[in-house]
Amino acid sequence: MPRDFTLHRYKSLLSVVANSFYTSTMVWNYLTSPPERCLILRYDVDRAPRRALDMARVEGEVGVQGNYYFSFGRGTDVYEICHFNRCVL
């Protein structure tokens, strides 16, 4: 089976999650009041913050929550990450 990392395929996967018996939740919500059945989507973003923003928008369309963790290394576009936060928050 070929790998398919498109946003279309990602949206299909999230739709399955949204229509399942599991609830997507943020890490903080899980730690303070965990749902009975939950799924925590965690993303480590060390490159391509714009791609992460596209993924977050898809999550919003489907009604699923994800957790994004940004890595600041040499060559990190901090302005692009700030744009991500303004768009998502």
In a domain, 83, yes or no: yes
Domain residue limits at 45: 7-88
Residues belonging to the chain:
89
Q: Which two tokens stand for residue 81?
A: 């990450």
By DSSP bridging, strand 23-24 and strand 66-70 are unpaired
Res 69: pLDDT: 84
Look at the chain and report how many structural domains it folds into: 1
Ranges of residues in the chain with a pLDDT under 50 are none
pLDDT per residue as tens digits for the range 13-25 = 999 999 999 999 9
- What is the reported pTM? 0.75
What b-and-e string marks burial along 20-38, b requiring 16 or more CB atoms within 10 Å of the CB? Answer: eeebbbeeeeeeeeeeeee
- Position 27 in a domain: yes
Looking at the domain assignment, is residue 2 inside a domain? no
